[in-house]
Amino acid sequence: ETGVTQTPRHLVMGMTNKKSLKCEQHLGHNAMYWYKQSAKKPLELMFVYSLEERVENNSVPSRFSPECPNSSHLFLHLHTLQPEDSALYLCASSQDSQGHAFFGQGTRLTVV
Amino acid sequence: DQQVKQNSPSLSVQEGRISILNCDYTNSMFDYFLWYKKYPAEGPTFLISISSIKDKNEDGRFTVFLNKSAKHLSLHIVPSQPGDSAVYFCAAIHNAGNMLTFGGGTRLMVKP
Sign of the CA dihedral with B29 first, then B89, B84, and B12 last: negative
Mean pLDDT throughout A78-97? 89
pLDDT tens digits, one per residue of A61-77: 999 999 999 989 999 99
**Beta-carbon separation of B34 and A43 below 8 A:** no
Q: Do A105 and B102 touch (CB under 8 A)?
A: no
**Cβ(B105)–Cβ(B6) below 8 Å:** yes
Of the candidate ranges A27-36, A74-83, A85-94, B89-98, the one whose mean pLDDT is the lowest: B89-98
Query: B33 in helix, strand or coil?
Result: strand
Which pLDDT value is given to residue A57? 66
Give the model's confidence band at B97: pLDDT under 50 very low, under 70 low, under 90 confident, else very high: low
Contacts of A35 in chain B (CB under 8 A): 102
Alpha-carbon gap, residue B83 to A96, rounded angstroms: 32
Q: Which residue of B has its CA nearest to A42?
A: B104
Residue A112 vs residue B1, higher pLDDT: A112
Indicate whether A1 pLDDT > 70: no
Instruction: Name the residue type at position A58.
Output: N
B49/A100 Cβ within 8 A: yes
- Which pLDDT tens digit goes with each residue over B36-55? 998 887 788 889 999 999 99
Of the candidates B96, B17, B3, the one whose C-alpha atom is nearest the C-alpha of residue A45 is: B3
CA within 13 Å, CB half, A31:
18
The span from the CA of A39 to the CA of A41, in Å, is: 6
What's the pLDDT at A39?
75
Quote the mean pLDDT of chain A. Answer: 88
